[in-house]
Structure 1
Amino acid sequence: MDALRIALQVILVLTSCVLVLTILMHKGKGGGLSDMFGGGMSSSMSSSGVAERNLNRITIGTAVLWTVVIVLLDLMQRFIVD
């Protein structure tokens, strides 16, 4: 069980990093800090609709995997006694 726990922890770290990066890659929707620093003009020209939809899919998939790994680690901690 230690190998499974270590594998899940590695997956958790990797998905956390990917989730942070994919969230930061999204374009600003306006009205936030991105407009204050000039992001409003560049965000309208930066990416196409297809690229943004694909980025949304990757972000949602990563978030679902991240959530599943956290639940599995919690279940292992509760029900498997070392």
Structure 2
Amino acid sequence: MAILELILQVILGITSLLLTLLILLHKGRGGGLSDMFGGGMTSALGSSGLAERNLNRFTIVLALVWFVTIVGLGLITKFQVI
């Protein structure tokens, strides 16, 4: 059981870092703090390219892996025999 917990902890660490990186790579949608200070001078084209769609898909899949890892670690912690 300890090996599985260690593997899940490593997966959690890697997915957390990758998820942070992927979220930061997304294009801003506007309406944030930069708009309050005059930084919102971007074009409002609603279409996203193929790279943006693939980034969205990869981010969602990685977020699901992250979520399953969290649930798995929680179940191991709850049912762990001391």
TM-score by length of 2: 0.82
Where has structure 1 moved over 6 Å in runs of 4 or more? none
Question: Quick check: 1:27–1:43 contact (8 Å CA) kept in 2?
Answer: no
Identify the structure with bigger relative contact order (alpha carbons < 8 Å, sequence gap 6+).
2
Whether 1:41 aligns to 2:48 is: no
Work out whether residues 19 and 59 of structure 1, in 8 Å CA contact, stay in contact via their aligned partners in 2. yes
Contact 1:15 1:65 in 2 (8 A): yes
Where does residue 53 of structure 2 map in the other structure? 53
Residue 64 (structure 1) aligns with: 64
Identity %: 57
In structure 1, list runs of 5 or more residues that go unmatched: none
Q: How does 1:1-82 map to 2 (within 5 A)?
A: 1-35=1-35, 36=37, 38=39, 40-41=41-42, 49-82=49-82
Q: CA RMSD in A?
A: 2.1
CA distance in 2 between partners of 1:15 and 1:43 (Å): 31
Task: Answer 1 or 2: which has greater helix percent.
Answer: 1
1:37: how far off? 7.0
